[in-house]
Amino acid sequence: MPHDRSAASLLSVSALNAWYGESHVLHGVELDIQAGELVTLLGRNGAGKTTTLRAIMGIVPARSGSIRYDGIELIGLPVHRIAQHGIAYCPEERGIFASLSVRENLMLPPRVGPGGLSLAAIHELFPNLRARQDTAQGTRLSGGEQQMLAIARILRTGARLLLLDEPTEGLAPVIVQLIGQTIRRLKADGFTILLVEQNFRFAAALADRHLVMEHGHIVDMISGSAIDSNMDKLETYLGV
Amino acid sequence: MFEILGIPPQALFGQMLLGLINGSFYAMLSLGLAVIFGMLNIINFAHGAFYMMGAFAAWMLLAYLGLGFYWALLLAPLLVGSFGILVERTMLCRLYRLDHLYGLLFTFGLALVIQGLFRQEFGASGLPYGIPAEMRGGSNLGFMFLPYYRGFVLAASVVVCFGTWFVIERTKLGAYLRAGTENPTLVQAFGVNVPRIIALTYGFGVALAGLAGVLAAPIYSVNPLMGSDLIIVVFAVVVIGGLGSVLGAIVTGFGLGLIEGLTKVFYPEASSTVIFVVMALVLLVRPAGLFGREG
């Protein structure tokens, strides 16, 4: 009897296609994520990793296929409804608002469910944000602090699935380490995380599974424990 | 009687007050334009028509339903604002992905249609609307005569403008607006119903124009072209202040009203052009406007 994968998965994506205007970027993406899992999307630039996150979130101009989250079909829902089901997105460019203070940036996303982190818990995770919460422009923060803020603000909301797009890009090693600890802690707290990462050594240490993307679809899956034995294959995929 | 720079104080302060009254309308209208432009990227050329509709709504509430000025102050902005939301939801919302020019052309055309309809119905000569009984007359402050109603207009405008500023800059709702102005997609990805906020923003900006129209009804005559005369100056104010700055719109509106009033005292010949002279100077020195952000 075939295994009914969608019944067991928190997120189940099948035959996902996405377009930016004339450009057909995703060609039938298939992926499943169990509740509490941490899965990375690996692949070269332009493979469709960011677009996959954006398509799940609903912020691509056109998409088709099926995205089921917690049993609910998300294709066809407006973006804010998708977010309200408990999915949160942290974009690669971080998206910190210049016209909002650090505190306003942190408090901006509305609650979408129970169980979000309290402000105290967030400040414990990111002490820098407490120290700088009165900074009038969110964009005055350093790159690392902006990344912390971008992650922190989606932890408040009660979202259970986090879509993180290259959270370590362009950051100093010590900050990368801090982000890594944070992600590990979030996984331990029961968050489900889909992580896009170029720095696969960073990802290798964190993830339960790695999905490899090429030309707009998933071409391989490597479990976290099998990463060492698959290093050669991965390096070929990623061109490193 | 003493004089200031050779001008009797009654004349000087009287003209300054008139200037501030005009400035009240400039401020309320350019504030609405700035808020709408920030959130919708639409240069709302129909703003003058909505202002006119506010004045007519006040007149009609009185003539047809017997509802006086204070009711009009409440109901006319709601009516005009609701009409604005209807326009946004049915027509304007289709233009956001296009160039600014389409929004400008659409709202310009809309203004012509609205004005044409009112002109067809009510003629172009204007309808009288009285000052509410409690606010007739005025008092002599010694250095000038203050008509009560004009004082009320000035106070109401200051309260409304700074109330709006407070909401936008200091509240959660305002944070949604500011964030939505910067990156509406991301704000919606946080679960905020951005299309609804956009519609309400437009409705609010339009309601502000409607409120200005109600306040203007007892001062200027209620006629279909009252908005198109004013909107030219308001756009000059917007150019000077720089689109997109709430505080800039308010300060520039009052400031230019005052400059216009003072010009009437010292060099009356230039009073109707002084704002455009200021606009030309500002464009030479700071093309983005006094409070605008470059780029």
Q: Measure Cα distances from B203 to A139, B88, B238 in Å.
A: 30, 8, 19
Q: How far apart are CA A10 and CA A30, in angstroms?
A: 14
**Positive or negative: CA dihedral A77, A83, A88, A89:** positive
Q: What is the pLDDT of residues A180-197, one digit of tens each?
A: 999 999 999 999 999 998
Flag whether residue A62 sits within 8 Å of chain B, measured between CB atoms.
Answer: no
- The neighbouring-strand residues paired with A220 are A212
Residue of B178, B186, B246, B293 best to disrupt the A interface, most CBs of A under 10 A:
B186
In chain B, whose CA is at the least distance from the CA of A89? B189
Which helix (H) or strand (E) segment holds residue A67: the answer is strand A62-69
Chain A residues with CB-CB distance to B192 below 8 A: 80, 109-110
Strand pairing class (A192-196; A161-165): parallel
The answer to whether the Cβ–Cβ distance between B189 and A107 falls below 8 Å is no
> What confidence category does residue A3 fall into, taking pLDDT thresholds of 50, 70 and 90?
very low
The answer to whether the Cβ–Cβ distance between B185 and A80 falls below 8 Å is no
The answer to whether the Cβ–Cβ distance between B189 and A83 falls below 8 Å is yes
Strand pairing class (A72-73; A87-90): unpaired
Weakest mean pLDDT among A170-179, B2-11, B120-129, B241-250: B2-11
From the list A52, A56, A50, A45, the residue with the least C-alpha distance to A26 is: A52
Structure-derived torsion over alpha carbons of residues A50, A51, A52, A58, reported in degrees to the nearest 10: 120
| pLDDT of amino acid A2 | 41
The answer to whether the Cβ–Cβ distance between A80 and B192 falls below 8 Å is yes
Chain A residues with CB-CB distance to B96 below 8 A: none
In chain B, whose CA is at the least distance from the CA of A57? B189
Residue A4 pLDDT > 70, yes or no? no
Nearest CB neighbour to B191, from listed A97, A104, A109:
A109
Q: How far apart are CA A26 and CA B219, in angstroms?
A: 62
Weakest mean pLDDT among A64-73, A129-138, B152-161, B239-248: B239-248
Q: How far apart are CA A53 and CA A191, in angstroms?
A: 16
Q: How far apart are CA A158 and CA A112, in angstroms?
A: 6
The answer to whether the Cβ–Cβ distance between A104 and B186 falls below 8 Å is no
- The pTM assigned to this predicted structure is 0.89
The answer to whether the Cβ–Cβ distance between A99 and B181 falls below 8 Å is yes
Q: How far apart are CA A28 and CA A17, in angstroms?
A: 5
- What 3-state class would DSSP assign to B7? strand
- What 3-state class would DSSP assign to A42? strand
- Residues 6 or more apart whose CB falls under 8 angstroms from that of B19 comprise B257, B258, B259, B260, B261, B262, B264
Q: What is the pLDDT of residues A111-161, one digit of tens each?
A: 999 989 999 999 999 999 999 988 889 999 999 999 999 999 999 999 999
For each of the domains in chain B, give its residue range(s) and CATH number, in order of start.
9-119+127-285 (1.10.3470)
Question: In terms of C-beta density within 10 A (0-12 exposed, 13-18 middle, 19 or more buried), how is residue B44 classed?
Answer: buried
Residue type, A184: R
- The neighbouring-strand residues paired with B140 are B145
Strand pairing class (A62-69; A11-20): antiparallel
